[in-house]
Structure 1
Amino acid sequence: MLMLRLVIASMASSSLSFQEKYDVFLSFRGEDTRNTFASYLYAALSAKQILTFMDHELERGDEISPTLRRAIEESKISAIIFSENYASSTWCLDELVQILECKKTREHIVIPIFYGIDPSVVRKQKGSYGVSFAELEERFRDRMEKVHQWRAALTEASNLCGLDSKDFRPENKLVQKILEDISFKLPKYLSFNEQLKGHLIGIEKHIKEIESRLSISTKDVRIIGIWGMGGTGKTTLASVVFQRLSYFQFEGYYFLWNVREEYSRYGANHLRKKLLSELLNDESILRMDTPFVASPFINDKLRRKKVLIVLDDVDSSTQLEALVEGYYHFALGSRIIVTTRNAQVLKKVADDIYKLDGLNEIESLKLLNLYAFGKSSPPKNYAMLSNNVISYADGNPLALKVLGSFLHSKSTDEWESALNKLKRIPNKDILDVLRISYEGLDKGEQNLFLDIACLINQSFTRDDAEKMLDAGDSFTKIGLTVLIEKSLIECRKDNKLWMHDLLRQVGHTIVCDEHREPGKRSRLWDVKDVCHVLERNMGTAAVEGISFNMSEISKDIKMCHASFSEMYNLRFLKIYCDNIDNKKFKLYLPQG
């Protein structure tokens, strides 16, 4: 019994370690199509950078070779070209059996192509297939089980959804249709593998939404924006849509990663030349020394080319306008996808803006579990801890991936310790990504962000915040709009202001970094810090705001008259009293 278990474990391990090498395996009868249709199809696949196995030089024999078996197993898709004499080759029939076996055991995708042969001839082994099998039955009369296996394989394959050459004229339309089918099936296969890694959990519904808004069938030129908070998966979503559509639906395509950093480092001129040189497959554009201005010749080429462009992480209108200026020169049907944290970037040029929200609780749990445990559900003794991590991340995929990877293989005690630490000190990898949005604000917007992160809780409406933070000027109203557009806060249907807890932690960290002493920081919200400063009269002119909840205090706060005397820049004081027994807790404010 023990030996059986070990064998099963070994087989499972072998299956999990299996790696694909080819995108497509071509199965065909060489004498029928090697120098015609099979070669045309192979060339078309190769031109689209689809790694395809075609047995150009392998020696043929009575049985399929180990090399071919391995090639089938290492491919994601098999395209089987059933031609007039396909069934006369035992080699082809053995390939077919191996392909269908991989379909059952390894999620292998099979595309039957009926080239000059009716599917019913293949299915029922009539006509030339009937003649071939009469000869095979005579030749293998002592091994009839093999003949039966081949018959069953042909019947099974011909019942799969396939393509019939008589439906496509001229022949290049059949090649194009096969390319399109493979273009959609390859991403589907990749999605299966990516889900094992956790990259695509919760993203399928967004893919469908973006593809719908792109309206590929319409002939205009469209710009679609994907907008959302840092770490929500905008780049991942755009890259998956790009993979699914680029190679077969468009004549030119380019994914320009991290525009914010690239623009800052190299400038608009370099990025525009890079973009157009890729779209037009013309490296001479990159070598131009003068400031780049598209010539009439280049514009004419653009008008003839249907393109797909992704501009990733654009954070200003200046960047976007520099890169899409003259986009109307692109051929009809062209599409541009822009990812950004700033909705204002999109409002002038985008035809549609899609707001990407975080994951729900079920999706969050799946993502965390895959990174932390390598499976879809946590061990029982980790269930509560997993829920605490999910609550902390609040749907942010980046946080779930980073924390899941960090907590992988750690004990429950280490999980508890890590969670306690996160309440005070956020993870640096998460903090660095989210802080980018803060650093893109001007000084006044940064101060408003810190006010909301440190002083305003989720019960405040936008009107409340404007009244309490305005300080007699009109900046707060426009400042709140900017923070909303840059995905740093939300104004929900009840007009309540909401900030993600991870962004709130960003604000807390920035203020805590101002000084080791709480009384020399701009804002105070932690009750221990508040008690420390007020009772010891350690406040300074640096303090601009104080906000805390009395219910979190376990003792009375006693202050002298001078507790606020040095805080002459204090402009905001808010004391919450949630579920508090006023007889037990008192705040002794100075007289006068």
Structure 2
Amino acid sequence: MALSCSSRKWENDLFLSFSGEDIRNGFLSHFHKEIDRKPILVFKDSDIKRGQSLGPKLKQAIRDSRIAVVIFSRKYASSSWCLNELLEIVKCKKECSQVVIPIFFRLDPTHVRKQTGVFGMNFEKTCHNKTEKMKIRLRRALTEVANITGYHSSVTCKNEAKMIKAIITDVLGELALTQPKDSEDFVGIETHIAEMNILLHFESKEVRMVGICGPSGIGKTTIARVLFNRLSSRFRCNVFIDRAFLSKSMEHYSGANLDDYNMMLHLQGIFLSEILGTRDIKINHLGAVGEMLKNHKVLIFIDDLENQVVLDTLAGHTNWFGCGSRIVVITKHKHLLEAHRIGHIYEVPLPSDPLALQILCQYAFRQNYPHDGFMELVSDPALRACKLPLVLTILGSLLRGRDRKYWMDMLLRFGKVQHGKTEEILKFIYNELNNKNDEAIFRHIAFFNGEKVDNIKSLLADSDLDVNTGIKNLVDKSLIRETCNTVEMHSLIQEMGKEIVRKQSSEPGEREFLVDCKEICDVLKDNTGTENVLGISLDIDGTDELHIHESAFKGMHKLQYLKISTKENKEVRLHLPEYLTYLPSKLRLLSWDLYPFKSMPCAFSTENLVDIDMKYSKLEKLWYGVQPLNRLKKMNLLGSKSLKEIPDLSMATNLETLNLGACSSLVELPFSVQYLNKLKTLNLSFCENLKTLPTSINLQALDCMNLSGCSRLRSFPDISTNISYFDLSQTGIEEVPWWIENFSKLREINMRNCQELQYVSLNISKLKHLEMVDFSDCGALNVASLNDSPITVAMSDDIHSKLPVYVKVSSSIPDDHFPRVELNFLDCFNLDQEALLQQQSVFKRLILSGEEVPSYFTHCTTGTSMINIPLLQTSLSQPFFRLMACAVVDFEPISMDHTSFLIEVYCQFIDGLGNHFGSAYWPMYFSTVPLGSHLVIFNCSLPLNGDYAYLAKRHYDHMDIQFHLTDDYSQIKLKGCAYEINRDSETEVKCVETEKKKQVKNVRELIKKQEQMMIDDIESGDSVRFLGGNIQCNVKGFRVKRLHKM
């Protein structure tokens, strides 16, 4: 029975049990009113006639509800109906793990627990005609529920409104914990979740670390994933760190291992970016996590932990995180948890026999029990000896859809396997593939585990293997998973794949794939490789000495995948020939970190190359002449400082990624680059001697281009208008031309520290996708135009002197457009900041040097981060609420190594009863900030739909707005803050139009005073700007005069 309940699909979120006589018109109506604003489905019994006994409809309603809230009042026990509901609720609590929340409405819980006082008297009256057995059942039910921690209106919350809010928050939290949709197919998951909930102990406000431990294949990651999915909605800051996350971190920081200081900094930066939802956070000391998260309630899951350094780097101490934070660490190494002093550990047990049977049936029959005629087969002793969930999953997938004869034949063969040895069982499953293509794809994926699906398909394209079908079949048989375009093979299965290859021959040089460091070193030293070898993956960090015979690869003429990598940068004694005489022509993947030779072998053929990765090589040139490169998709020569020229790439028509970053000897790109019509990413960062680019690199597929650090580059490059990410920081470029408005897909442009830059023209109204603009530390910048150029009105100097200074109110941004661009103009001291500030409608966030709050802010304060703004019982308008917030911060770091900070804006709406609603926030992170005072301005938009739709239905008395600063060991002072509310986009437009009319009226009066001027009409709808007065407006319904000297 418990199983059927735990796997059911709940019809209702909440069932309320109450006596209506003493709470219906007060507490209950308020409770319903509040809960109706939340996404909570409450069962309502208005159509059910109440009597002495519960009907089948009401019983079913109770059983179909995830949570039961019991409101005990003085007259609750006067109702047999209520007492019968309570019996059913207690029954569901035991059988279906239903969550029960008691509320004691103006009633002492002791009276319910012991049936005393007025409550006890009413109980006795109701039970007058009941049997003694029934009385005992009722007393036990009352005592059991009254012993559950709940809410007491006269003790825990004197303000009932606050208590109701707390109850609803609790209900939402429990719904997150009991949500079954993500786990319907995971047999026994609810038991695991229940055990974890006990260890997590959410009632406590402490920061708690909990471990999940057990052998490979027992289901640790599955439990963690389900638990994280259920809990994440309760934590604004949450992150799930898995092996893919760590691999990606390492991939983007080549040349370091996990205990390298810079690698740990990089890992913390990526971690903070992910958990705070802010891109590209960069830090420069390892205390940043603790400083930036110490006030945040976080949820962190670290899966598949193999290295203590990861745990120390990301969750070193509980005091790094805010109250109520939970950190869950998943590993098969219990000693890692103990070394970190994690005392709350859940050791995942093997499933019981019934659960093991259900797991097998789930995958074999898509249900928890076997089809007719199969019970005897699933009960076979050979199968019952298998308990590991991973093995049961694969066996079930293998047997899915098979008839009885196949089952019996398979069980006969399976009975000969040495049970209890997981590797033997897995090898049996591999042999059952019975498909040469699938077996070959399996061995390849054991070699490429963790790679992108697209990369594997590219490397195996045009081979004899059917990659698509093979991957699909292996997924169907649960031997691999395909998630986020990545192929994942469980470590146990991968090890089995490696063992299958090892048994191909006692001689390593005669096997298909080589991955053991010692064996590979022996093969390269002794020149014993044969044509059987398809792939080599050598991690040279595993050896102190490497010998490479000059003809080491000659015998391996069928070699397709060569990977020689390092992450530790440790000293390895190399014994090399003067040059390499041969590399196989069938190579598809050539990945060799720190390649030690000046060029490739003279006779090297490139016709099969798909991916060439030679990071930090000693190459001076690759090859001579034009080579056949039509299969090449990636070329990575990052950090090859001696590389002087790039070969002719005219034949590389399928190249998608070209990484030449930090190739500091490179002077120019070959003209053939213009033929790379499929190139998506081009990295030329810190090519310090690069002066020019080929003219008109009109590569239509180019999406990302990095020219950062190309200090000799002077002119803005003429490139494809389809680009999305453009980094021109630390270049010598002098001007951003107007035609950048044609870059319709541009999302980010970085021109930080361009000391020669003087003029910027960004028509943001046409750059619909733009999100980030960084012009910080551009000392020579004096003009930054972010809007359409208006009609300029030429006037006499006298007119200039007489026209008053107006705030610029025009904008080419449509009224329904939410500002989304983040602008950084720090240390641009020659910039006309006033003109920039007047273009407020185009940015979402802005930071610039300065210490005076702009004049258009009406709510200002100094010395405090909090401000209270009256709303005069106004309601929030549809479709969004807008708020401008400005902070003046003074930055004085203790050390120049510590220069980053996070600033956030919080706001809450408060009604006349003091109830708080809609806690919204907007963050902004800065990795490096110069000394001095700076303005940080937020243009906040809160869409009144989805989670915040209920906000638009209430009236509010005031709102609280607060800035929150988090810095790393530096001295940041909040000198002042200011806020401006745009309550209604329609109201905002009316205010703007009114201001425009006032300004035009003033201009008219000035014009009348100029008697020696000629007058031309300007038609309605024209845009006008008076240079002397900084006024710009659209003429609507009246005429304005354009003035000229006589």
What TM-score comes out, normalization by structure 2 length?
A: 0.31
Structure number with greater Rg is 2
Higher strand share: 2
What TM-score comes out, normalization by structure 1 length?
A: 0.49
User: Looking at both structures, which has the greater relative contact order when contacts are Cα pairs under 8 Å and sequence separation is at least 6?
Assistant: 1
Higher helix share: 1
